Structure 1
Amino acid sequence: MAVITTTRRSERFRRTTPPTCTYWLAGRCNRNPCRFSHSSPTLPSNAYYNGNTTYKHSKQPTNCASKALEKPANRAPMAVVSVEKPTKCEPMAMSDEKITVCGLEAVSVEKPTKCEQKAVLIEKTADVEDVDTVVAKAPVEKSRSICKYWMTDTCVHGDLCQNLHSWFYGDGFSTLAKLHEHKKAVTGIALPAGSDKLYSGSTDGTVRAWDCNTGRCLGVINLNSEVTSLVSEGSWIFAGVKNAVKAWNIQTGADFTLDGPMGQVLSLNVGNDILLAGAEDGVIYAWRVSSDPKAESPFELVATLSGHTKPVVCLAIGCYKMLYSGSMDHSIKVWDLDTLQCTMTLNGHSEVVTSLICWDNYLLSSSSDCTVNVWVCTEEGILKVAYTHTEKNAVLGLYGMTDAEAKPILFCSCKDNSVRIYELPTFLERGRLFTRQEVQSFEIGPNGLFFTGDGTGLLNV
């Protein structure tokens, strides 16, 4: 009868206890509350000892429970107890019959070699006198992937999550400030030389001025049109909007509108005393400072550079007074800034050319085809790809600077909301930045400072 009674109790216990969550066991359950149990499954009622002092267990105990448990004499039945991960394991108080393990009472065991900070679950059935195994879970090893649930503030694992809950990892870099006033993506950052202000443009239709010392927003310029590019030259700030380029002089406060472009102005650059704007219609527009002191605008449109068949996404100024333009037509064109004529067309990408930077005698280009090409000039004066670096996701932008040891560092913004940090020319990874949305703008500052703007409107220092 004792066996029948025990069996019925076990059956009733199994009916009232929900099954253990398999996702919780794998450390991936994100439901709170979860309709399954978040505790180790209870052993069946036939897990009795076999006539000696050693119990049969489905898993071998580890660390704090590394020895076989001895059968307690005349011990009162105990209920199932589930304990979360303790913050610190207290020293073990030894006695003849029992010990205290991380603040929990358990039966007598031999002294373990080490009590680590691990989650301890002790389960004991109410209808049998034996004690189940003490299960110790090993610390979760961190992967190098950002937690997608943390990105949306829904991760329930906290510090136990196997994925990263961080904005950054790597050596030699740290986050100083986060400026979050823009409502939409930050698409341009400008730091005028000799100024103590930082300027940022956004698709929310505003340009904001920030105090570089306090991080406070000092002013907002409402343009009522998406800002898709921003550059500075001397005392001038230029913002690319739809069908125009807006210009402000930060010393005099004068502002002007440069008409001419058709569609959204996606890229801006200044070289050889020429303001260049790449537009949605595939044309590059060029302005010079007007020689007429009585002109309404201090800038005059001097040329339109046609050749691309789709929008011009990026512009870069290189040595020998050369302009490089990247387009959605998958090509890179090389222009002579003295004659404003196209001298070469480069076809090294199979998707949109997203970014261009010039570094010494090298040209680096990125594309939605997940590659970064390093171009060098041959003796014949032709640019050829010397090396191709491949990413797992589309590359959105390239930005370069030197570290404290004067080593060239390349920042590579990718579609997976990360920025890879590489040491050139080896492309050895130095670290990564993580953002909730993709980084769309970047700017280098003095004393090793750099700024990133992402799709949420956050400006990081």
Structure 2
Amino acid sequence: MDVEFADKGGNKRTYHRVGATGKIPKICYYWQEGRCTRNPCNFLHGEVPGGVDRVGISNGVNATKRPNQMMEFDNGGGPPMQRRPVNPKWGRNTGVSSGGGSGAVVESNRRVQGKVCNYWISGHCKYGNDCKFLHSFFVGEGFTLVTALTGHEKAVRGIALPSGSDKLYSGSADASVRVWDCQSGQCAGAIKLPGEVGCLISEGPWLFVGIPNFVKAWNTQTAAELTLNGPNGQVHALAVGNEMLLAGIQDGSILAWKFSIAANCFEPAASLLGHSLSVVSLVFGANRLFSGSMDKTIKIWNLETFQCIQTLGDHSSVVMSLLCWKDFLLSCSLDQTVKVWVATESGDLKVTYTHKEEHGVLTLCGTLDAQDQPVLISACNDNSVRLYDLPSFNERGKMYSKEEVRAIQVGPGGLFFTGDGTGELRVWKWLAQGTKA
């Protein structure tokens, strides 16, 4: 593994709108990534005629198996999803309380202002203490901001903590993986890659990184390094399940590799075909693989036969992230919804609750707070991250960033991490009950 020590230099960030020519209208690159702020916009906010996939969308860490705290949440190899009648007790006013959150967003450090100051977030508010808007990176109860780690020049696409390592890894669209010392918070080095990182996960001591046309694998204990060939285009999502590594690819395919102990390598096992556009989210649970795509569908795969056993088409836009929790599957989309799915008597999945947001939802992560109560962390494309008690979906806090958050990860000791579009990685911590931020 070639590691170069991080430098302090930076490159200018450029974005290019991608579209067709001739009679086919140009689609808005930013809209497809869920972050167009123009109204009206000069480019198309809708599907490209003919269903052509014209832009990649990264899903970052959401296919990662959550370590340590994830006793109830699971993004890989969770408890079986039981066949049961649809659970009607999701959503607000269920009478279910999940810990210290009151359901109302309360500011910890200042008087309640109701709305964050976007100028302050970007470092340009001229009103100071006289500003009528909130000067804070978060509001809510039971958690606090520990520190911010800077060094990436572009968006953070994945965060991972390999087992047995005292290092935190973050992958970015700046074509690098940075290695952070968990004790000092300092960047220990950077791994330069031949293309931008689309996703990054860890499983045991292994670190897996998706880049265009390849998956890179490192064993953080033995320093073994492998390159997996086969992807056609950007690798947007990775997951581990049924003793296989699975990758969601830009061309709509899902590739699977099995690890060979004898040869000490990953050998191709299967190619799962069925999605018509990029696969941007993967999760393993209940002995099934769940995949979300730009084609607006979720597919459920039997990994024994590598066959699709059900297609879910309830979302009306890109399925950005998937999460398994207990007997439920949670999905989010740019259609501004989070949907909760449960297995019915027939074994098929059905929506039991739909949570609506005012903005597109980019990624989901499940964790337990300091009282071991389940919390859903949900990032939206208005540059905010919402925290909800489950199963009530009562909001207990918000976090704000300069740009949208695409990567969320849970760590040991009540820590959790977010990575935003500027390349900044923030470290958060759950507080013991009665402790103030």
Q: TM-score, normalised by structure 2?
A: 0.71
Q: Distance in 2 between matches of 1:167 and 1:280?
A: 34
Is 1:450 aligned to 2:393, yes or no? no
> Does structure 1 retain, via aligned residues, the 8 Å contact 2:170–2:178?
yes
TM-superposed deviation, 1:153 = 2.3
SS of residue matched to 2:295: coil
Pairing 1:417-428 to 2, within 5 Å after superposition: 417-428=383-394
Query: For 2:316, which of 335, 347, 350 is the aligned residue?
Result: 350
**C-alpha contact (below 8 Å) 1:142/1:162 kept by paired residues:** no
- Which digits, 9 at most, give the CA deviation of each residue in 1:20-54, with x for residues without a partner? xxxxxxxxxxxxxxxxxxxxxxxxxxxxxxxxxxx
Report the equivalent of 1:261: 231
Alpha-carbon distance in structure 2 between the residues aligned to 1:448 and 1:338: 36
Take 1:181 and 1:144, find their aligned partners in 2: how far apart are those partners? 32
Determine helix, strand or coil for the equivalent of 1:263. Answer: coil
Q: Is the 8 A contact 1:269 1:317 kept in 2?
A: yes
Q: Which aligned pairs between 1:53-202 and structure 2 lie closer than 5 A?
A: 142-202=112-172
Deviations along 1:238-289, whole A, 9 cap, x unmatched? 1000001011111121211101000000000111110000000000000001
Give the counterpart of 2:174 among 182, 198, 204: 204
Q: Which runs of 5+ in 2 are unaligned?
A: 1-109, 428-437
Q: CA deviation at 1:186?
A: 0.6
* C-alpha distance in 2 between matches for 1:224 and 1:166: 37
Instruction: Report if the CA contact (8 A) 2:165-2:220 is conserved.
Output: no
Q: Does 1:316 align with 2:286?
A: no
Q: Secondary structure of 1:261's partner?
A: coil
1:285 aligns with 2:255: yes
Partner amino acid for 1:312? Answer: V
Higher relative contact order (CA closer than 8 Å, sequence separation 6+): 2
Residues 368-379 of structure 1: pairs in structure 2 closer than 5 A = 368-379=334-345
Which amino acid counterpart does residue 408 of structure 1 have in structure 2? P
Q: Is 1:327 aligned with 2:293?
A: yes
The alpha carbon displacement at 1:325 in A equals 0.2
CA-atom RMSD, angstroms?
1.3
Deviation at 1:145, TM superposition (A): 2.2
- Matches of 2:143 and 2:188, distance apart in 1: 27
Partner of 1:224: 194
| Partner SS, residue 119 of structure 2 | helix
One of 264, 267, 270 as aligned partner of 1:300: 267
Residues 426/384 of structure 1: CA separation in 2 closer, same or farther (3 Å cut):
same
1:149 alignment partner, SS class: helix
Distance 1:162 1:323 in 2: 48
Q: What residue number does 1:439 align with?
A: 405
* Contact 2:121-2:137 at 8 Å conserved across structures: no
Letter in 1 for 2:333: S
Deviation for aligned residue 1:317: 0.9
Instruction: Tell which structure's C-alpha radius of gyration is larger.
Output: 1
The amino acid of 2:298's aligned partner reads: I
Structure 1 residue 143: deviation in Å? Answer: 3.4
Aligned-pair CA distance for 1:169 = 1.1
Structure 1 segments unaligned to the other structure (5+ residues):
1-139
Cα distance per residue 1:86-115 (max 9 Å; x no partner)? xxxxxxxxxxxxxxxxxxxxxxxxxxxxxx
TM-score in terms of structure 1 length: 0.68
Give the residue type in structure 2 aligned to 1:239. V
1:240 aligns with 2:210: yes
1:192 alignment partner, SS class: coil
2:375 maps to 409
SS, match of residue 162 in structure 1:
coil
**1:141 CA displacement:** 7.4
CA distance in 1, matches of 2:416, 2:289: 24
Structure-2 residue corresponding to 1:252:
222
Instruction: Give the C-alpha shift of residue 192 in structure 1.
Output: 0.9
Contact kept in structure 2, 1:141 and 1:162, CA below 8 Å: no
Does the 8 A contact of 2:340 with 2:354 survive in 1? yes
